């Protein structure tokens, strides 16, 4: 639902004072081997979704916290391939 409504949600956030250049990230299949992460901005999300459709369901993260991705992305490689983990 968040992917489908992302342009409207982003427009409401911008109308409420958020910066259109703030990053917006879609995380599909989180923690699974097929995890996919797509990054755009609040202002560009409409054009982004017209060109690309992230798989659903997806977690949507907006704002400066997106910059923490490299620090927090410890669950990768062999860890993500572990059927138990």
Tell me how far apart the alpha carbons of residues 65 and 59 are, in angstroms, rounded to a whole number.
13
The DSSP 8-state label assigned to residue 27 in this structure reads E
Give the Cα separation of 32 and 58 in Å (integer): 12
pLDDT of the residue at 81: 62
**CATH code of the domain covering residue 30:** 3.30.950.10
- pTM confidence score: 0.79
CA 1 to chain CA centroid, Å, is 13
Q: What pLDDT does residue 79 have?
A: 61
Q: What percent of the chain has pLDDT over 70?
A: 81
Q: ω before 76 within 30° of 0 (cis)?
A: no
The parent domain of residue 64 ranges over 2-81
At 15-61, the pLDDT tens digits run 999 999 999 999 998 877 788 889 999 999 999 999 998 888 899 99
The total number of structural domains in the chain stands at 1
Q: Which helix (H) or strand (E) holds 61?
A: strand 58-62
């Amino acid at each position: 639902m968040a992917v489908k409504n992302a342009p409207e949600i982003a427009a409401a956030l911008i109308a409420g004072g958020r910066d259109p250049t703030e990053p917006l990230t879609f995380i599909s299949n989180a923690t699974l081997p097929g995890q996919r992460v797509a990054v755009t901005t609040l202002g560009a999300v409409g054009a982004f979704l017209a060109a690309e459709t992230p798989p659903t369901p997806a977690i949507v993260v907006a704002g400066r916290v997106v910059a923490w991705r490299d620090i927090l992305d410890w669950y990768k490689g062999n860890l993500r391939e572990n059927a138990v983990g």
